[in-house]
Chain A
Amino acid sequence: MNTQALFAQLLVGLINGSFYALLSLGLAVIFGMLNIINFAHGALYMMGAFCAWFLLNVVGLNYWFALVFVPLIVGCVGMVIERTMLKRLQGLDHLYGLLLTFGLALVIQGVFQNYFGSSGLPYAIPSQLTGGQNLGFMFLPNYRAWVVVFSLIICLATWYGIEKTKLGSYLRAATENPQLVRAFGINVPRMITLTYGFGVALAALAGVLSAPINQVRPLMGADLIIVVFAVVVIGGMGSIMGSIVTGFLLGLLEGLTKYFYPEASNTVVFVVMAIVLLVKPNGLFGRT
């Protein structure tokens, strides 16, 4: 057994898992509050990566600024989308939100493809994180270690914020019974807008993290989001911790499959999804 190769694949798995977790977490937060399955999530992730590229190449702001500003900028785009479009779908069937966000994703991707074609734009790893560590059993690139650790921190902070804080208790309550929370004097429509903005900001943050690893391409989100939806189905829609744990685990599972049976590495997530749907249709962490 080639342990070097195994660990290398596990690391790739963890990296992918970080993106799955960040994206499915955003989807879970949005679904809980807005009852919308946000198909535009992949396109907004791509926008995050492009936004980082623009900040670097047009404005001259480096990666670390992008890490702060991109989620804010794309999050604001998200809030505009919620206020002008998604808000009108309140109380309608899931299908409408799904169609609208799917259409939005196509529009956004189409616009970027029109200007940038399908090829990727390079984004350099920030100088502080180039190079890597030789751990003896494997070589660990610094940037990849950073992505895994930083994603994990963001995911856990989000979980803590939602499950353990006062602000989070408003969010959980409004997820259960928005009318009553409003009748207590809490501005739920504003919370909904901010929640969508936050979910979108998570996607944009994942986009920034991904820019130096994968190239910045208009279809980078479209390719990823299919797997992320499988992750969401496996974890159970709406569960916060569930989406984090499932994201990382499925990334690792993909990595393992790449080592032991590479032919199945692109399908293993969907096989797991099919099994979970058969055995536990609400997902591993879903509430009944």
Chain B
Amino acid sequence: MRPSATMPMCSKPISGSQMPEPKVMLDVRDLQSWYGESHILHGVDFNVREGEVVTLIGRNGAGKTTTLKSIIGMIDKRQGSVRFEDQEIIAMPSERIARLGIAFCPEERGIFASLNVMENLLLPPHVRPGGLSVEQIFTLFPNLKERRSSPGTKLSGGEQQMLAIGRILRTGARLLMLDEPTEGLAPVIIQQIGATIARLKQEGFTILLVEQNFRFASTVADRFYVMEHGRIIDTFATPDLPQNIHKLHDYLGV
């Protein structure tokens, strides 16, 4: 196990940009969580700045999904510190965290079978002004418009993923946490999701992405954090990816 002291800390500038760094939007420190008796996260440290796309990468079971679920409060037993826009949220219930402006798109997509497409889309309430309108979401994902009255789970996997992303864009949340949005999808759909993420970044959304597919992630992310055994073990910016590729292969076991 790598001692976390040797880990490159995120406070130092990562890319070579001369621009003043944007504010830290999400600051996670020594985050620990448990599923029942089993200790899953053993002190996770990372941050996400406003307007960034940050990717958590790592093997199955490294704790990536648990990290997202701990941030949004879906894991009951959690410790440490999670600050969102300078406010401590570690002890808040899930519904309050969401209301502050964090939205979560789960790996299994979480489309409700007893709701049609439109109802699924309109389910998450507005938490802040400035979300996309339904028309804008339909422009982004035209398929959804055609299928607006179909039951949510009658959609294809790609359409379900679009619906899962689309419905959190309406809410006005500024930090979007996307858990493996490309999993199990055809390359052409993955491209469309990639284009969407790039577009959202342009519009100023901040995105925390969990991915196993680092080829995809490297096309959209600004920075990477590598997770293993419930800790962050390494981090690098996307431009530094080529010289770190062997290390990364090693981490991911590919």
By a beta-carbon cutoff of 8 Å, the part of chain A in contact with chain B is 166, 169-170, 172-173, 175-177, 179-188
A175 and B114: CB pair below 8 A?
yes
Cβ contact of B93, chosen from A172, A173, A182, A184, cutoff 8 A: A182
Contacts of B74 in A (CB 8 A): 179-180, 182-183
The CA of A276 and the CA of B157, in the complex, are separated in Å by 36
Q: Is B98 an interface residue when CB atoms closer than 8 A count as contact?
A: yes
Contacts of B103 in A (CB 8 A): 184
The CA of A218 and the CA of B96, in the complex, are separated in Å by 44
Specify which of B99, B114, B124, B171 lies most central, judged by the most chain A CB atoms within 10 Å of its CB.
B114
Known: A169-B122, A184-B124. A179 touches B115 (CB 8 A): no
Known: A169-B115, A184-B124, A185-B125. A177 touches B98 (CB 8 A): no
Within 8 A of A (CB), among B45-74: 72-74
Cβ contact of B110, chosen from A172, A175, A177, A187, cutoff 8 A: A177
Cβ contact of A185, chosen from B99, B110, B113, B114, cutoff 8 A: B99
In the assembled complex, the CB of A111 is this many whole angstroms from the nearest CB of chain B, namely: 36
Q: Is B95 an interface residue when CB atoms closer than 8 A count as contact?
A: yes
Contacts of A166 in B (CB 8 A): 122
How many pairs, one residue from A and one from B, have CB atoms within 8 Å of each other in the complex?
61
Contacts of A187 in B (CB 8 A): 95
B73 and A183: CB pair below 8 A?
yes
Contacts of B95 in A (CB 8 A): 182-188
Which residue of B has the minimal Cβ distance to A176? Answer: B112
**Interface contacts beyond A169-B123, A184-B98: sample of 5 additional A-B pairs, CB < 8 Å, sorted by A:** A173-B123, A179-B94, A180-B104, A186-B95, A187-B95
For the complex of A and B, the 4 pairs showing the least CB-CB separation, nearest first, are A185-B98, A184-B124, A182-B94, A172-B114
A172 and B171: CB pair below 8 A?
no
The CA of A176 and the CA of B113, in the complex, are separated in Å by 8
Interface range on chain B (Cβ under 8 Å from partner): 20 to 34
In the assembled complex, the CB of B30 is this many whole angstroms from the nearest CB of chain A, namely: 23
Q: Is B200 an interface residue when CB atoms closer than 8 A count as contact?
A: no
Q: Is B43 an interface residue when CB atoms closer than 8 A count as contact?
A: no
Q: Is B183 an interface residue when CB atoms closer than 8 A count as contact?
A: no
In the assembled complex, the CB of A177 is this many whole angstroms from the nearest CB of chain B, namely: 6
Q: Is B119 an interface residue when CB atoms closer than 8 A count as contact?
A: yes
The CA of A204 and the CA of B72, in the complex, are separated in Å by 39
The CA of A170 and the CA of B115, in the complex, are separated in Å by 9
Contacts of A172 in B (CB 8 A): 112, 114-115
Q: Is B80 an interface residue when CB atoms closer than 8 A count as contact?
A: no
Known: A166-B122, A170-B123, A185-B98. A177 touches B93 (CB 8 A): no
In the assembled complex, the CB of B150 is this many whole angstroms from the nearest CB of chain A, namely: 15
In the assembled complex, the CB of A138 is this many whole angstroms from the nearest CB of chain B, namely: 41
- Can you list 16 pairs linking A and B with CB atoms under 8 Å apart? A169-B119, A170-B123, A172-B114, A173-B115, A176-B112, A176-B113, A176-B114, A180-B74, A181-B123, A182-B95, A183-B74, A184-B103, A184-B168, A185-B95, A185-B99, A185-B171
Which residue of B has the minimal Cβ distance to A173? Answer: B112
B127 and A185: CB pair below 8 A?
yes
In the assembled complex, the CB of A128 is this many whole angstroms from the nearest CB of chain B, namely: 40
The CA of A182 and the CA of B103, in the complex, are separated in Å by 11
A184 and B114: CB pair below 8 A?
no
Contacts of A183 in B (CB 8 A): 72-74, 94-95, 97-98, 104
Known: A186-B95, A186-B125. A180 touches B110 (CB 8 A): yes
